[in-house]
Amino acid sequence: MRPTVNDIAREAGVSLATVDRVLNDRPGVRAKTVQAVQDAIARIGYVRDVAAANLARQRDYRLAFVLPDTDSQFNRTLLDALAEAHRQSAMARTDVLLRRFAAEDPHALAGILAALPGAGVVGVALMAPETPVIRDAIRNLRQKGLAVVALVSDLPNTERDHFVGIDNRAAGRAAAVLIGRFLRPGPSRVMVLSDSMLLRESIERRLGFDEVMQGRFPQIEVLPSLETHGQAAVLHRVVTDCLAHSPDIGGIYILGTGQRALTTTLQHLGLTGRSVVLGHELTPHARAALLSGAMDVVITQNVGHLVRSALRVLRAKIDRVPFDLSQEQIRIEIVIRENLPDSL
Amino acid sequence: MRPTVNDIAREAGVSLATVDRVLNDRPGVRAKTVQAVQDAIARIGYVRDVAAANLARQRDYRLAFVLPDTDSQFNRTLLDALAEAHRQSAMARTDVLLRRFAAEDPHALAGILAALPGAGVVGVALMAPETPVIRDAIRNLRQKGLAVVALVSDLPNTERDHFVGIDNRAAGRAAAVLIGRFLRPGPSRVMVLSDSMLLRESIERRLGFDEVMQGRFPQIEVLPSLETHGQAAVLHRVVTDCLAHSPDIGGIYILGTGQRALTTTLQHLGLTGRSVVLGHELTPHARAALLSGAMDVVITQNVGHLVRSALRVLRAKIDRVPFDLSQEQIRIEIVIRENLPDSL
DNA sequence: AGTTTTTTGAGGTGCGTACCTCAAAAACTT
DNA sequence: AAGTTTTTGAGGTACGCACCTCAAAAAACT
């Protein structure tokens, strides 16, 4: 039988009320008594029944996901996963709010964040670039007792509780190894496409990529990143240009969005399947591209895990319960046609 | 506010007792009344609060993991993951029993399974080869109302509720693509090592492997499987032999256990790093081998996910609650040095 | 010593559900 | 219509915990 609060009281020789005061940090207990209760807890191995506690507390975890309003495929799958998690969590007294902000407006974002405590939100998962304004906003949230996790894109210099996402530098290294080994031996060139080299993820992926390419595949020449600014037309132009000047491109590494634009451009040029193509994030289009052979490898993070991990971590932080770090580590998944999962 | 049982009663115009009878499949309710209650439930969108239900039920999910007593690394990490899940689930009123059976004795296994209902077990995760005796044992468990999931190794012709594990044929295909593309172009030969070609997993992996090798890499010759029977000495001998006869082995695919024996054998022969080496299951030794370059790729399933998925599915089956199939799909993970996770 | 302040105890209620009992009502029998 | 069976209702207790009140005890002050 699991020990209960009553067992603590008996073991510590105090009343239930005192145990309750200690357990819930209520004032009016002498330090000595607190210690006695905590000793008793340790002795009998009491673990709070979180389910019962939340039931009694009438607690509905009010959590918020704050995401940019970009209309990328990745964002869409993220929203899908969130909706799914939301449906599932109808059973777990969790209420998930979604807040979207204009991607280029850090002040609007700060406003949204500032409004969360007033809305009764006790935990926030945030996907946003790090700016001074955001740093302050996060500090404020933490001071008001909210749990804050960074999602997908880390906010390392803020007071966020946790980061839910992958090590993008390692992802870039993995990309380099795969392209390097898939290319036939001998000199060749690799094209790198990115939305903008200002984004933290792009920079980190590129760093990891170059690291391995220089160290392990010196015969491969990596061209400077071509920036697409998320626009299909720009991508089409720069890729066409680049291939015109250097037709011997053996590999294409697409750091960010634009997979669809890339594969259609290659198809236009009749070059599908000619180079090793590696991209990030397993979107529906990436799935199709893997199946058709238009792409060779996708490096991805499981969006469902991402969302569920964020939810678990937030709940754990709010309950002040430790969590299993190794379970919350998001894997860098390598996906080829052969290990493509059935869904998502 | 979430609707409760009381809301159902009001909405359906019946008493709480009747609602309770319907919700918990208790007898003594007219079909018409059952329908009225279910309509009310649908109308107000009631979802049972599983936490409160379990609290009231005083239910401790008594689950059993039934595993072979083999002392392989995979088994050991599985046990570790189980222990970890067990510690975590101290909070979730779940009691996990572990039963191990002599790997070669299906009757002992049947005995263990038969004893579970008497021990109050309501759910079983089973990792065992499929035999007629086991099929019967599983049918009996199901008839007694236990939930049964197959773990790692499927039992497709039994009445198990669910299979928690990967598609090994797809894993074999992925192995073939990786070895095929990592090898330099042109003819070469691949050695395949397996414990015994009688195990379902080995057969399926080999099937998938051959499928891709024949179709996509016809210039690569795949040698017949060398059986090691899980013994390091045997492996050492057959590998040494094989390499003596065909020194031009470009790739080695190790279907089952024996990674350590293989890498030490290769080291002995001074051939470390000469061929592309791919194995299954990310054991501590496989980690080390990836880091040192003694192995190139590992195809694995996340053992932590495996265990947690089995637990979630069992709980869902017992609660008669639907579960998110896509969440419970175990991924075929491709691991190279660069995306090696920090832990496990 | 008496007085004030702090600490503790005893007891209660409610969260949403399960499960029980007993009597009343309704639906079938013959 | 009277009896029998089935169905329903009203009410209670319990689960483990949070949170509340009020009085009693203990400790800290004059």
CB contact under 8 A, B184 and A185: yes
- Residue B91 confidence (pLDDT): 47
Q: Which residue(s) pair with B190 in the sheet?
A: B222, B251
B194 vs B344, more confident: B194
Closest CA to A60 of A93, A97, A86, A96: A93
Please give the Cα distance from B264 to B268 (Å, whole number): 6
pLDDT per residue as tens digits for the range A190-216: 999 998 877 888 999 999 999 999 999
Q: What angle do CA A195, A328, A53 make, to 5 degrees?
A: 130
Q: What is the pLDDT of residues B285-324, one digit of tens each?
A: 999 999 999 999 999 999 988 998 999 899 888 877 788 7
| Least confident stretch, A297-311, B9-23, B70-84 | B70-84
Phi, psi of B65 (to 5 degrees): -105, 125
Tokens of B140: 């009996």
Residue B57 pLDDT level (bands cut at 50, 70, 90): confident
Q: Residue A89 pLDDT more than 70? A: no
Helix, strand, or coil (residue A286):
helix
Interface of A with B in 22-51 (CB under 8 A): 47-51
pLDDT at residue B176 tops 50: yes
Are the C-beta atoms of A75 and A67 separated by less than 8 Å?
yes
**Helical packing angle, A50-57 and B50-57, nearest 10°:** 110
Higher pLDDT, A207 or A86: A207
For the segment A29-47, the average pLDDT, to the nearest whole number, is 93
Position A92 scores a pLDDT of: 64
Residue B199 confidence (pLDDT) above 90: no
To the nearest whole number, what is the mean pLDDT of chain A?
91
Least confident range from A109-118, B8-17, B52-61, B80-89: namely B80-89
Task: Give the pair of three-digit tokens for residue A237.
Answer: 């132009």
At B98 the pLDDT is: 92
Any A CB within 8 A of B304 CB: yes
Chain A positions in Cβ-Cβ contact with residue B338 (cut-off 8 Å): 170, 173-174, 176-177, 208, 212, 332
Across the interface, whether the CB atoms of A341 and B331 are under 8 A apart is answered yes
Residue at minimal CA–C1' distance from C20? B17
The shortest C-alpha distance from B79 to chain A (Å) reads 15
The pLDDT value given to residue B133: 93
What pLDDT does residue A88 have? 65
Residues of A with Cβ-Cβ distance to B309 under 8 angstroms: none
How many other C-beta atoms can be found within 10 angstroms of the C-beta atom of residue B193?
25
Tell me, what's the pLDDT at B88? 65
Say yes or no to pLDDT of A147 above 70.
yes
pLDDT value of position B94: 76
Identify the pLDDT of residue B41. Answer: 94
**Span B265-272, mean pLDDT?**
91
pLDDT (tens digit, 9 = 90+) per residue, B247-259? 889 999 999 999 9
Q: Do A176 and B338 touch (CB under 8 A)?
A: yes
- Nearest nucleotide by C1' position to the B20 CA atom: C18
d(Cα B53, Cα B334) in Å, to the nearest integer? 41
Taking the Cβ of residue A298 and every Cβ of chain B, the question of whether any pair is shorter than 8 Å is answered with no
Q: Which of A76-85, A274-283, B219-228, B233-242 has the lowest mean pLDDT?
A: A76-85
**Strand nucleotide closest to residue B15 (CA to C1'):** D9
DSSP calls for B85-149: HHHHGGGGTEEEEEEEE-TT-HHHHHHHHHHTGGGT--EEEE-----HHHHHHHHHHHHTT-EEE
Q: Closest CA to D21 C1' — which residue?
A: A17
H helices within chain A, ranges in order?
Answer: 5-12, 16-23, 31-44, 50-57, 73-88, 106-115, 132-143, 168-182, 200-216, 232-245, 259-268, 284-292, 303-319
Flag whether pLDDT at B341 surpasses 70.
yes
pLDDT digits (tens, 9 = 90+) for B17-37: 999 999 999 999 999 999 999
Minimal Cα distance from A324: which residue of B? B88
Bridge partners, A99 (sequence order):
A66
CA angle centred on A109, ends A105 and A115, rounded to 5°: 150
pLDDT in tens, A267-296: 999 888 889 999 999 999 999 999 999 999
Q: Which residue has the higher pLDDT, B318 or A16?
A: A16
| Nearest nucleotide, CA A15 to C1' | C9
Q: Does B342 touch chain A (CB under 8 A)?
A: yes
Q: How much of chain A exceeds pLDDT 70, in percent? A: 98
The pLDDT-based confidence of B332 (bands split at 50, 70, 90) is very high
Of B181, B182, B339, the CB nearest to A332: B339
Mean pLDDT of B82-99: 75
Distance from CA of B181 to the nearest CA of A (A): 5
**Strand D and B38 CB separated by under 7 Å:** no
Share of chain A above pLDDT 90, in %: 69
SS3 A27: coil
What does the pLDDT read at residue A73? 85
Is B316 near chain A, with CB under 8 Å?
no
Q: How confident is the model at residue A72 (pLDDT cuts 50, 70, 90)?
A: confident
Average pLDDT, chain B: 91
pLDDT mean over B96-117: 92
Closest chain B C-alpha to A226 CA, distance in angstroms? 24
DSSP string, B254-318: E-SS-HHHHHHHHHHTT-TTTSEEEEES--HHHHHHHHHTS-SEEEE--HHHHHHHHHHHHHHHH
